[in-house]
Structure 1
Amino acid sequence: MHVVPLPALADNYIWLLHDDDGNAIVVDPGDAQPVEAALAQRHLQLRAILLTHHHHDHIGGVDALLSRHRVPVYAPHDERIATATQRVGDGDIVQLVTPAARFEVMAVPGHTTTHIAYTGEGILLCGDTLFSMGCGRLFEGTPEQMLTSLDRLASLPSHTLVCCAHEYTAANGRFARTIEPDNAPLAARQQEVANLRARNQPSLPVALSVEQATNPFLRTDSDAVIAWGRQQGVDGDRVARFAALRANKDVFTG
């Protein structure tokens, strides 16, 4: 399975997955134009659309795609996604014949209450729950929900390729260094991202193992993040420590 990030809108990625026989899936198409261009350029046939949550920058291109492609639309149980043809929830399996692919659905509330992720084929399609060196804002869920969701994602095999929906990596890295200034893998990842972005290359996908070593939101139990929490007056409560991390990121301008 080939995994291609399609830049869209201001800083979104629409994920295009395709096999060698010309069959394709798109994930969170907030805009139809980049999808249609990629399908034509690569001589691909769209076979399915996967959606992680209801925000317009993730579903805004679905109607236009459906006007040209008769394909199923997999989406969470959320009436705000009117284009869904098949609702899926935690533990469900999306089994596609063309391209041959199998994804397990994971409920990952926090960014929204009905947010889901898809994992399979060595890939994690996580929408706005997990970002490289960051995580999504809590628009609808609670810190406890989001931390539980991130814990679930962090428990996947370390070789899993993380396919996030936004190019936030450089800014996330600058915040992460304020939490763990002595984290060598984090410094190395920052330099890698700087080199990629200087060439206008995407910083994604990224191996989950890299996130486990560099992402403070996956490292709430690390010594460095615990020490940072104590400086913030948070001691011993990992949910409170995570909430402090997220609150600090919300106002970070570095």
Structure 2
Amino acid sequence: MIKKSAVEIIALPAFTDNYIWVLRHAGQVAVVDPGDATPVREYLAQTGERLCAVLVTHYHPDHIGGIAEIIAHHPVPVYGPASENIAEVSHSLRGGEHIQLPEIDCEFDVITLPGHTLGHIAYYGSDIGEAGAVFCGDTLFAAGCGRLFEGTPAQMYDSLNKLAVLPAPTFVYCTHEYTQANLRFALAVEPDNPAIQQRCKDVAAIRAAGRFTVPTRIDLELETNPFLRSDAPAVRAAAAARLGYSPRDAVETFTAIREWKNHF
């Protein structure tokens, strides 16, 4: 039997729609993408738990802005992308590495995800929880994907496919509460998709109750996320309507849908 990690994962809201993920076990914690130091420092002060590591997916300020203050008070290793300019990173990662955080009973495979930024990475733990977990920053969102600030559509398409082939029940820990807006777009792309229709209702109820809509799951994204559905006939048809011709392949479909979302 494969040993499952005993880590617990909780969210610290930050700014208007960010989440800082806290992985906790036996009085120790690691945090993912702490753009704001205050929620993390307040959490540590309230719980008395000890910080053991910081994990970073990419260099945007709302993901790294709190690191300097956090490690000034809690000196710990900082893991992050080697090709991005993040001064606080002490353990540079290029993808393909396997890292272990024994303090919180976790280990991760590092996945390169160029697109949102060129150096973007994710942390995948196959033994976390009952189904595994991936911390993917701003690459894959619930019902959406990140903007292409640096990479090409082909790069982002390939990066999303790296996540799409993870085991279907894998929990996806993205870092923004964008789900309702993303689902409005998904419904515009596939208005007759019953899974999207149902998810819109479910998410509306979740938000009305003041709860978070993430993490999501890979299997749910495969059913309802247009950016993972470039081969679906309805998505290809939606792309063709935007382009004025039938897209040549899945990358061109993805490109048309992503451009549509930019102006939606």
TM-score by length of 1: 0.96
Q: Deviations over 1:195-237 (max 9, x none)?
A: 1111221100111111111000001111211221222224232
Match of 2:98?
93
Moved more, 179-188 or 128-137: 179-188
1:104 maps to 2:116: no
Secondary structure of the structure 1 residue equivalent to 2:204: helix
Shift of the alpha carbon at 1:40? Answer: 2.9
Match of 1:134?
144
Q: Deviations over 1:38-84 (max 9, x none)?
A: 22333321110000000000000000100111210000013510100
Aligned amino acid, residue 215 of structure 2: P
Distance 1:76 1:50 in 2: 10
Moved more, 46-55 or 220-229: 220-229
5+ long unaligned stretches in structure 1: none
Shift of the alpha carbon at 1:88? Answer: 0.8
The counterpart of 1:163, out of the listed 173, 176, 179, is 173
Task: Work out whether residues 73 and 85 of structure 1, in 8 Å CA contact, stay in contact via their aligned partners in 2.
Answer: yes
Task: Work out whether residues 160 and 207 of structure 1, in 8 Å CA contact, stay in contact via their aligned partners in 2.
Answer: yes
Shift of the alpha carbon at 1:172? Answer: 0.2
The counterpart of 1:217, out of the listed 227, 233, 253, is 227
5+ long unaligned stretches in structure 2: 1-6
Aligned amino acid, residue 233 of structure 2: D
Moved more, 183-192 or 47-56: 183-192
1:3 maps to 2:12: no
Shift of the alpha carbon at 1:89? Answer: 1.6
1:238 maps to 2:241: no
Secondary structure of the structure 2 residue equivalent to 1:98: helix
Secondary structure of the structure 2 residue equivalent to 1:48: strand
Shift of the alpha carbon at 1:193? Answer: 1.2
1:248 maps to 2:254: no
Moved more, 92-101 or 230-239: 230-239
The 5 Å alignment of 1:27-46 reads: 27-46=32-51
The 5 Å alignment of 1:76-91 reads: 76-91=81-96
Q: Deviations over 1:149-199 (max 9, x none)?
A: 001100001111100111110000000000111111111111111111112
1:154 maps to 2:133: no
User: Alignment length, in residue pairs?
Assistant: 251
Secondary structure of the structure 1 residue equivalent to 2:214: coil
Distance 1:248 1:124 in 2: 27
Match of 1:201?
211
Secondary structure of the structure 1 residue equivalent to 2:103: coil
RMSD: 1.1
Task: Work out whether residues 17 and 24 of structure 1, in 8 Å CA contact, stay in contact via their aligned partners in 2.
Answer: yes
Aligned amino acid, residue 128 of structure 1: D
Q: Deviations over 1:99-137 (max 9, x none)?
A: 111000000000000000110021110000010000000
The counterpart of 1:229, out of the listed 196, 220, 239, is 239
1:116 maps to 2:116: no
Task: Work out whether residues 237 and 246 of structure 2, in 8 Å CA contact, stay in contact via their aligned partners in 1.
Answer: no
Secondary structure of the structure 2 residue equivalent to 1:124: strand
Match of 1:187?
197
The counterpart of 1:48, out of the listed 37, 50, 53, is 53
The counterpart of 1:174, out of the listed 184, 207, 213, is 184
Identity %: 48
Aligned amino acid, residue 60 of structure 1: G
Aligned amino acid, residue 166 of structure 1: H
TM-score by length of 2: 0.92
